[in-house]
Amino acid sequence: MLTPPVSPGTFIGSVLFAPISASLRPVFLCLSALVATTGASFADDASDLVARGRYLATAADCAACHTAPHGGTPFAGGYGIDTPLGKIFSTNITPSKEDGIGNYSEEDFARAVREGVAKDGSHLYPAMPYTAYAKITDDDMKALYAYFMNGVKPDDHKPQKTELPFPFSIRTSMAVWNLLFLDKTRFQPNSAKSAEWNRGAYLADALEHCSTCHTPRNAFMAEDASQPLAGGSVGSWYAPNITSDKVAGIGGWSDDELIRYLKTGNVAGKAQAAGPMAEAVENSLQHLSDDDLKAIVTYLRDVPAIASGDKPSRAELGKPSSVVEASLRGLPGQMADENGYHVFSGSCAACHQVEGQGNDHYPSLFHNTATGEDRPDNLVSTILYGLHRTVGDHVAFMPAFGPDASFTDRLSDKDIADVSNYVLANYGNPAVKVTPADVVRIRDGGEKPLIVKLAPLAAPAAIAITVIVLALIIWLLSRRRSRPALG
């Protein structure tokens, strides 16, 4: 999930907004001719439902995954999600009867969104976050369906098909996975908590699916229910611990800082949202009402604290450090991180400034969670992929330096490791060290879960077991034959 898809701002204008569906229109006209007032309120109800569905679709960030990058038609699919299993392409969810979900009934739609089963009965991969959407209420599902059928323009377009390697190509295996890991219970309000807390819990857990990124996963790639929001890998990126822990989580952030981060993706002297979090801010969170953002923060504050390795808090590490001071630490050729220093002054200091302190436009590299975290993933990924986040009219942009960068300033794996070490040693968490192999691992989508590491063994293992069983049968048969006849 590296290239930011179109933001809802771009598509909302282009989406056909039908106050009532075409099929209902003649009925509506008849009714309004007879009793004008009844007709009007009927239209209002229908358009209210579609409008509500649109807001819910934004909060659930359906467009982020279902829109191809670089100006793809909204919801027409074709966005390739990099997962440890391989690339999974999203489908066309416009109401196209040919290529989309135009033939889905409300029941079919609800089953796909909440249970991960398509109309034809085939199982979806959990790259579609149905594990979170399972909690969506029936009322909201109705509104979502009304929006997709009447508020989204049909688009006849077949997105690229997903072809995962064996054994993941067998979709029915997801039925077993669902049996083990899919909790189908709808959101249950907690009567001991305030209405605001419950609204926040519903937004975070069901619609915004925060846990699909921020909760660590087990060997089978299911969320580890014992560590909600304690931090998880998202391909090349790392979604940090956002439990209420004061040091490891976001317990030390003020309400205002958290709201600002969710709304804009930038809190000076603390954190900037890049990668998948930039997409969540750009496509979804910035469009939420202030009350809804406040509700999410109220809920986050109350998520049980889970301590992890960050000591002290990742937002507070580092201090300004001058390149002059650094260069005086050794004669040329003797300074341990000399290449890192050169890459830094050549590629980074123009924006982040010579002491890493940043300015009004560019963030400081100390007191920055990407450099203070106890792992280098977000620092290395930001260097590899850059940062692009549009919020309102403001575009935050940092160029990419990795091999996919379209700019001339490409850095080698060693340069990226060296500059990361320079930044970590001078501005961030000096205990973290980066090797060129780490850069390759992160570029390759991060550490693979056990299930993926074992996958290549699936076919040979099946063959090996068959061979052993065959050999046993042959051996038994031959023993029986060679046994001397009794009597």
Known binding positions: 62, 65-66, 210, 213-214, 348, 351-352
Contact present, 82 and 445 (Cβ < 8 Å)? yes
Give the span between the Cα atoms of 344 and 333, in whole angstroms. 16
Instruction: Output the smallest distance, CB 48 to ligand HEC, in A.
Output: 19
Q: Retrieve residue 372's tokens.
A: 């203070």
Task: Give the list of residues 6+ apart from residue 65 with CB closer than 8 angstroms, or none.
Answer: 1, 5, 79, 81, 90, 127, 128
Instruction: Output the smallest distance, CB 196 to ligand HEC, in A.
Output: 15
Nearer to ligand HEC, 39 or 277 (CB): 277
Considering just the CA atoms, what is the radius of gyration of the chain in Å?
26
Contact present, 235 and 368 (Cβ < 8 Å)? no
Nearer to ligand HEC, 25 or 394 (CB): 394
Instruction: Output the smallest distance, CB 278 to ligand HEC, in A.
Output: 7
* 3-class state of residue 452 by DSSP: helix
Contact present, 51 and 60 (Cβ < 8 Å)? no
Instruction: Output the smallest distance, CB 64 to ligand HEC, in A.
Output: 6
Residues belonging to the binding site for heme c are: 62, 65-66, 210, 213-214, 348, 351-352
Phi/psi at 336 (5° precision): -60, -45
Report which DSSP code applies to 90. Answer: P
Strands (E), 29-79: none
Contact present, 233 and 447 (Cβ < 8 Å)? yes
Instruction: Output the smallest distance, CB 25 to ligand HEC, in A.
Output: 25
What is the phi-psi region of residue 184: left when phi exceeds 0, alpha when psi lies from -120 to 50, beta otherwise? alpha
Instruction: Output the smallest distance, CB 354 to ligand HEC, in A.
Output: 13
CA atoms within 13 A on the CB side of 146: 24
Nearer to ligand HEC, 39 or 416 (CB): 416
> Which amino acid type is present at position 444?
D
Instruction: Output the smallest distance, CB 142 to ligand HEC, in A.
Output: 12
Q: Looking at beta carbons, which pairs linking 447-452 to residues 24 or more positions away fall under 8 Å?
A: 447/233, 448/84, 449/84, 449/217, 449/218, 449/219, 449/220, 449/221, 450/219, 450/220, 451/219, 451/220, 451/221, 452/84, 452/85
Nearer to ligand HEC, 165 or 470 (CB): 165
Nearer to ligand HEC, 42 or 362 (CB): 362
> Which amino acid type is present at position 477?
L
Q: Retrieve residue 397's tokens.
A: 């942009």
Nearer to ligand HEC, 39 or 241 (CB): 241
Nearer to ligand HEC, 134 or 273 (CB): 273
Nearer to ligand HEC, 20 or 63 (CB): 63
Instruction: Output the smallest distance, CB 165 to ligand HEC, in A.
Output: 15
